[in-house]
């Protein structure tokens, strides 16, 4: 990455992280952005008792891993494309390899595998943060530049992306 694109990327990333943290559902789940590289995003989810799959177990409901993968995947599209345009999930496929223990934080690592003008292909792995055990894998495709208003943060002018 040259100096200019690095600067552009950091602007986009800052704005995208702000945007992600403002998403009401991500806030409600307590999803945190851990890091954003050019095409790789890390996000953390700390389990709470209302996230459990069953009254009598401490296993996290798979749907929380699903939401985490969708959130991390969306930010990976923006990081990979280096532009803040609205996107929409086209499809998402999850494989749940192991049960997720309710007293350990989850870490999602989403990678933007390929971008076309209209579509982004994303892989996402979800780990148990404490022991790096792989809990679930996801594959998603996102539609880029979906209709609607272009969003931008206060610190980012529309022309700069």
State the nearest-atom distance from the C-beta of 15 to another protein, in Å. Answer: 14
State the nearest-atom distance from the C-beta of 112 to another protein, in Å. Answer: 17
Burial class of residue 14 (count of CB atoms within 10 Å of its CB; 0-12, 13-18, 19+):
middle
- CB within 8 A of 40, min separation 6: which ones? 76, 79, 109, 110, 111, 112
Cα–Cα distance measured from residue 5 to residue 56, given in angstroms and rounded to the nearest whole number: 51
**DSSP letter, residue 28:** H
Cα–Cα distance measured from residue 103 to residue 84, given in angstroms and rounded to the nearest whole number: 35
- Does the footprint of another protein cover residue 27 (CB under 8 A)? yes
- Does the footprint of another protein cover residue 28 (CB under 8 A)? yes
- Does the footprint of another protein cover residue 4 (CB under 8 A)? no
Q: Which is nearer to another protein, 50 or 103 (CB)?
A: 50
State the nearest-atom distance from the C-beta of 5 to another protein, in Å. Answer: 26
- Does the footprint of another protein cover residue 93 (CB under 8 A)? yes
- Does the footprint of another protein cover residue 46 (CB under 8 A)? no
- Does the footprint of another protein cover residue 121 (CB under 8 A)? no
User: What separation in angstroms does the CA of 13 have from each of 77, 148, 152?
Assistant: 11, 21, 11
Stretch near another protein under the rule CB under 8 A, chosen from 7-15, 36-44, 63-71, 125-133: 63-71
Q: How many CA atoms lie within 13 A of 89 on its CB side?
A: 18
Question: What does the binding site for another protein look like in residue numbers (CB under 8 A)?
Answer: 22-28, 49-55, 61-64, 66-71, 74, 86, 88-96, 99, 148-149, 151
């Amino acid at each position: 990455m040259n100096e200019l694109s690095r600067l552009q990327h950091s602007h986009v990333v800052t704005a995208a992280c702000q945007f992600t943290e403002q998403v009401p559902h991500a806030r409600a789940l307590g999803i945190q952005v851990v890091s954003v590289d050019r095409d790789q995003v890390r996000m953390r989810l700390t389990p709470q008792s209302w996230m459990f799959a069953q009254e009598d177990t401490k296993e996290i409901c798979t749907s929380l891993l699903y939401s985490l993968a969708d959130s991390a995947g969306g930010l990976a599209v923006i990081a990979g494309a280096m532009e803040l345009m609205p996107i929409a999930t086209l499809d998402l496929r999850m494989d749940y390899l192991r049960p997720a223990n309710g007293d350990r934080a989850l870490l999602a690592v989403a990678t933007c595998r390929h971008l076309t003008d209209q579509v982004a292909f994303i892989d996402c792995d979800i780990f148990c943060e404490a022991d790096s055990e792989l809990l679930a894998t996801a594959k998603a495709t996102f539609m880029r530049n979906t209709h609607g208003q272009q969003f931008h943060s206060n610190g980012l002018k529309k022309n700069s992306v």
